[in-house]
Amino acid sequence: MEHPDYSLEAAAIARGHRRIAGVDEVGRGPLAGPVTAAAVILDPDTIPDGLNDSKKLSAKKREAVEADIFQLAEVSIAHASVEEIDSLNILRASHLAMERAVAALDPPPDYLLIDGNLIPKGVQQPAEFVIKGDGKSVSIAAASIVAKLARDRIMVDLAQQFPGYGWDKNAGYPSKQHREALIEIGVTPHHRRSFKPVHKILYQE
């Protein structure tokens, strides 16, 4: 399938659900920063143009589509902190962020389309997981765009406070600059201590 469409949402509506939320998270792989999730309920009559997997859109296009999503859809964004990532593990923390994003929608959705291969155990609604969902469902694609941009902006902010790691460009992922800065400058409070490259430096393994 080239582009995501509304067929999964339409199928859920045909089964009697009305408020269908697409849910996605971003930031499982970085060495620093929170994991961020978004939940989006689209109006089938005013679906923004250009929705796609956020990774397939240029930065300029992502921002333009994001503006339309906020104007035309119901959106919520939530995070799980570095401390939560380290105490729970990254999968559970990413699910926690998803659960929080869903819980923040008011009124609540009555059906969820969740990117990935698992349904977070804390969600109350009927749900289905959709593998590579941001390329299949426009609601999940919208959530992927919102979550990515929200998290990118957090990392740009943190880059001002902790220069040298390149977070404004690498969003906390283990780029060459980031890995070198970890060794030369050291570990910040925003690094995930449970992640191997950070753990190794802290404990000199």
| Residues contributing to the annotated binding site for a divalent metal cation | 24-25, 115
Closest Cα partner for 115 from 147, 152, 81, 84?
147
The strands making up 127-130's β-sheet, listed across from edge to edge, are 74-80, 35-41, 20-26, 111-115, 127-130
Answer yes or no: are the C-beta atoms of 115 and 102 closer than 8 Å.
no
d(CA 127, CA 118): 10
Closest Cα partner for 37 from 112, 154, 144, 167?
144
Residue 31 has φ and ψ, to the nearest 5°, of -90, -10
- Give the sign of the dihedral formed by CA 166, CA 169, CA 172, CA 177: negative
Answer yes or no: are the C-beta atoms of 35 and 97 closer than 8 Å.
yes
Angle at 57 between CA 2 and CA 101, to 5 degrees: 95
